[in-house]
Structure 1
């Protein structure tokens, strides 16, 4: 049976886009049902509790440092993947967008594989940016969390610290999410139908990861 690569690419990306659109709608209607919004509130509550407990500065810095290192590892993974993907995609881009045999600019001819490789680059770049920004916010929150709890400077920066840990956590989760979304793109490069299967598997997995639930409720 002949597989239409463009149709497979549309179905692969369409399933992921449809799920992300549904998730955005659920977040507007009932954010408490989603894990990443609930955990963002958890981080804000943690910072508020740690800021009310004298002597907790070292614990706060250690916790934020662990989170910072996790975001750093995600950023490192994304940049390594981006460099590798660029080295593999550059020849195809040069052949597609470079000059023709007559020295004139060749008319762009995108194949489904090249289109998905460009999506791959975009996802890796998005993951890198989100992870680096998470590192930035965790870094600033670490300075705030290291201030003595009773100091007036700590009180002045308390609201910023709470906002920073929330933003850092959301950015970190977005960075991880972009890496997960690489699965259907990479499998499509291997075979178009594998991309459809990979998209279905990722959507099923994300429905479990994105849903907030308490096992014993």
Structure 2
């Protein structure tokens, strides 16, 4: 349970019980949701409890195992071990919502990943992702590759160039006593 007593919740930031909730995505009931970098599956499981159908993709087999052990009984929820670009290239599924919380959007070159995401999204679909603010960690090695920090203006330009509109970039201040906030980006497919 979180601090509010909920058994599932969505967390855009790196801090427990901090930041906005799933309302960033609009209504999710009846929508197909893809989580790129689904980790333990908790964020996606929360959306499924609200009526979404969810597909979680993570490059780490151990993360899929943890997600299946914890959330495997939840109907409408699937997990798969795959590289985000390979999954998007191979699937023929279309998604209404794509999210990436400290996930693939931060680690995969946007010029490679964003056209693939866009090609798998339904009209008026929502893409939302979060990561540290630009310069929070710089462009550093991160195991599977580099972190792709972008400024708010850069994200607006890049996303618009790949067929997204209504791009909103916000910086979420950290909780008291913490130094680093979170960047949250939301865009709609044209």
**Relative contact order, CA 8 A, sep 6+: which one is greater?**
1
Is the strand fraction higher in 1 or 2?
A: 2
Structure 1 length normalisation: TM-score? Answer: 0.21
Is the helix fraction higher in 1 or 2?
A: 1
Structure 2 length normalisation: TM-score? Answer: 0.23
